[in-house]
Amino acid sequence: MVVENRAGSGGNLASARVAKLPPDGYHLIVQTGGHAVSGAIYKALPSDPVDDFQMISTVSYQSFMIAVRADSKIKTVADLVAAAKAAPGKLTYSSIGVGTTQHLAGEWFSAPPAYR
C-alpha cells in the first residue's frame, strides 16, 4: 500500500486526484465530513462528491468539542452562552477551515435558536 497525502482545500484536492484515477478498486481515499459538505458550498468542483465516489466503509466517528484558554472565565457551555448574550457579536471562534464540518458546527452553534 502506498499512501499519497494530498492536503488542502478541505479534501477537494485529494478527491479531484482520486476521481481521475481508474475505478479499479486499487485507488482509495479516506474522506472526512468535508467531502459531503463540498458539493453544497462550492459552485464548481473538479469532481462530483456524490457521483464520482462510492462509500465502502465508515472508518471512524468524529466528535466535536469547544475549547477555550485555560485561564478563561468561561468554564462551561452555559458560561459561553451567557458571555455571548452579554456581548453580542464580540466573541470569535476558529476552525480548521472554511466549509469544514468544524466551521459549520461553529456557525450552527452561533446561529440564533430559530435557525437551529
Assessment of whether the complete model's pTM goes beyond 0.75: no
Residues 3 and 35 in one domain: yes
Three-class secondary structure assignment of the chain: CCCCCCCCHHHHHHHHHHHCCCCCCCCCCCCCHHHHHHHHHCCCCCCCCCCCCCCCCCCCCCCCCCCCCCCCCCCCHHHHHHHHHHCCCCCCCCCCCCCCHHHHHHHHHHCCHHHC
Is 68 within the bounds of a domain? no
- How many structural domains is the chain composed of? 2
Q: Looking at the structure, do residues 56 and 2 belong to the same domain, yes or no? A: yes
Instruction: Summarize pLDDT for 83-116 with one digit per residue, the tens.
Output: 999 999 899 999 888 788 888 899 998 888 887 7
DSSP tag of 67: -
The answer on 55 and 7 residing in a single domain is yes
Same structural domain, 54 and 107: no
Q: Domain limits at 14?
A: 1-60
Whether 65 is covered by a domain: the verdict is no
Residue at a domain's end among 60, 87, 106: 60
Per-residue pLDDT reduced to its tens digit, 14-26 = 999 999 999 998 9
